[in-house]
Amino acid sequence: MTTPRHAEHVCTECGAATPRWMGRCPACGSWGTLILSAPGEIAAAAAPSMQVPVPRSLVELLDTPTVERLATGLPELDRALGGGLVPGSVVLVGGEPGIGKSTLLLQAADRAARDVSVLYVTAEESLAQLARRARRIGVEASNLRSIAETDLERVCAAAERARPRLLVVDSVQTLRDPALAAAAGSVTQVRRAAERLIELARRDGPAVVLVGHVTKDGGLAGPKLLEHVVDAVLSFEGDDRAALRIVRCTKNRFGAVDEVGVFEMTGSGLVDARDVSAGLLAARVPGATGSAVAAVREGRRTLLVEVQALTVSCSSAVPRRNVVGVDAARVALVCAVLERWGGVVLGASDVFVQLVGGLRACDPAVDLAVAVAIASTHAGRAVPVNVAWLGEIGLCGDLRGVAGLDARAAEAARLGFARCVVPASAASGQREASGAIEVVRVARVSDALALARGA
Strand partners, 387: 419
pLDDT for 50 equals 65
Domain 279-454 = CATH 3.30.465.10: no
Q: Over the stretch 64-102, which tens digit does the pLDDT of each residue have? A: 777 789 999 999 999 999 999 999 999 999 988 888 999
- Whether pLDDT at 330 is above 50: yes
Cβ neighbours of residue 37 closer than 8 Å, sequence gap 6 or more: 7, 8, 9, 10, 17, 182, 186, 187, 188
Helix-helix angle 328-341:445-454, to 10 degrees: 80
Which CATH number does 69-274 carry? 3.40.50.300
Q: Over the stretch 31-54, which tens digit does the pLDDT of each residue have? A: 887 877 655 444 444 445 567 888
Q: Over the stretch 262-320, which tens digit does the pLDDT of each residue have? A: 999 888 899 998 888 998 898 899 889 999 999 999 878 899 999 999 999 998 888 99
In total, the chain counts a number of residues equal to 455
Residue 78: C-alpha distances to residues 73, 81, 82, 171, 421 (Å): 8, 5, 6, 21, 33
Domain segments of the chain as ranges: 1-40, 69-274, 279-454
Q: Coil, strand or helix: which one is 323?
A: strand
pLDDT for 187 equals 81
- Whether pLDDT at 1 is above 70: no
pLDDT for 38 equals 55
User: What span, in angstroms and rounded, lies between the C-alpha atoms of 224 and 247?
Assistant: 20
Q: Over the stretch 136-159, which tens digit does the pLDDT of each residue have? A: 999 999 899 999 999 999 999 999
Mean pLDDT of the chain: 87
Instruction: Look at 157 and 56; give whichever has higher pLDDT.
Output: 157
